[in-house]
Amino acid sequence: MNGPIITLIIIILVILLVVSMINVVPQEHAYVIESLGKYSTTWNAGLHFKIPLIERVSRKVLLKEQVADFAPQPVITKDNVTMMIDSVVYFKVMNPHDYTYGVENPIMAMENLTATTLRNIIGDLELDATLTSRETINEQMLQIIDLATDPWGIKVTRVELKNIQPPTAIREAMEKQMKAEREKRAVILTAEGEKQSAILKAEGDKESKVLEAEANKQATILAAEGQKEKEIREAEGQAEAIISVQKATADGIRAIKEAGADDAVIKLKSLEAFAAAANGQATKIIIPSEIQGVAGLAKGIVESIKD
């Protein structure tokens, strides 16, 4: 009876022993293995077997990129201004062996190293330079920390200053300065706007006057051309009227001749034609001597009839 129980116990112990030998390392992890208290090997992702009571997992190391967010640290600038600065460090474990045996507490060591490096860099800068030189400070810290953590199997990929907090009095003074600067810019922009507006208005007035003068010039030219055209048409009308009267007179004289009238009648009609041609507009009419005789004769006849 005791034999089967002992056999069952032995089988269970063997199964437990075999199960304890099996180890599965997840992706992006590494296990540091010690054999009898001494470093033996490093297991990467996959299935591994461990010798019971001889080998043990000394440390499980995460190989993904990690973020260390450190608490704000008091630092003093070159011009003796104390401020609080907190930083963020991005890093990866490149060598699990060095990460395990290079330093007792890698994260704490890196935090102290970051704080020391930050104080050294800020101590050489004044307040204004500190506030405007974040990129430069980040690059300097990255170079120094990455070089210092290399023996620990750590690769620092990025360092960022997350927040810079000057003293309250300094912040208030900076806010007043920024407010004054904004007001100054507003005044300058207003003045520039008014200046530009005045320039545009002056240019507009100038263009308006030029256009008005051009319009007046065109109007004067058109008026002169209209007057000229009117005078030409009036002269042409008068000339056509004179030509028409003379043509009618000539036609009348021709008709009288054809009817057999004597010279006295013809000359009298010629005198009437001259009077019609003058139409009261001429101040002096030159009458041929032949017609003057007829005019005297006509005058004598008129006077005898009156008597």
Question: Is 0.75 surpassed by the pTM of this model?
Answer: no
Number of neighbouring beta carbons within 10 Å of residue 152: 21
Range of the domain at 46: 19-62
> What is the mean pLDDT of each successive set of 10 residues along the chain, which is 307 residues long?
76 80 90 91 90 88 92 87 90 93 90 92 86 89 93 93 81 74 84 87 84 84 84 80 73 64 56 55 54 49 45
* Long-range CB contacts for residues 65-73, cutoff 8 Å, separation at least 24: 65/90, 65/91, 65/92, 65/157, 66/90, 66/91, 66/92, 66/93, 68/107, 68/110, 68/111, 69/162, 70/111, 70/114, 70/115, 72/163, 72/165, 73/115, 73/118, 73/119
Residues 103 and 155 grouped into a single domain: yes
Residues 275 and 302 grouped into a single domain: yes
pLDDT at residue 31, rounded to an integer: 94
* Last residue in a domain, options 62, 88, 113: 62
* Last residue in a domain, options 125, 150, 166: 166
C-alpha dist (Å) from residue 123 to 64, 77, 139, 175: 34, 5, 16, 24
Token pair in block for residue 304: 């005898």
Which amino acid, residue 168?
T
Residues ≥6 apart with Cβ < 8 Å to 253: 266, 269, 270, 273
Residues 117 and 162 grouped into a single domain: yes
Token pair in block for residue 143: 């170079």
pLDDT at residue 97, rounded to an integer: 93
| Strand segments (E) across 1-109 | 22-25, 29-35, 38-43, 46-49, 55-62, 66-69, 73-76, 82-93
Query: Does some domain include residue 292?
Result: yes
Query: Does some domain include residue 191?
Result: no
* Last residue in a domain, options 109, 140, 166: 166
Residues 42 and 97 grouped into a single domain: no
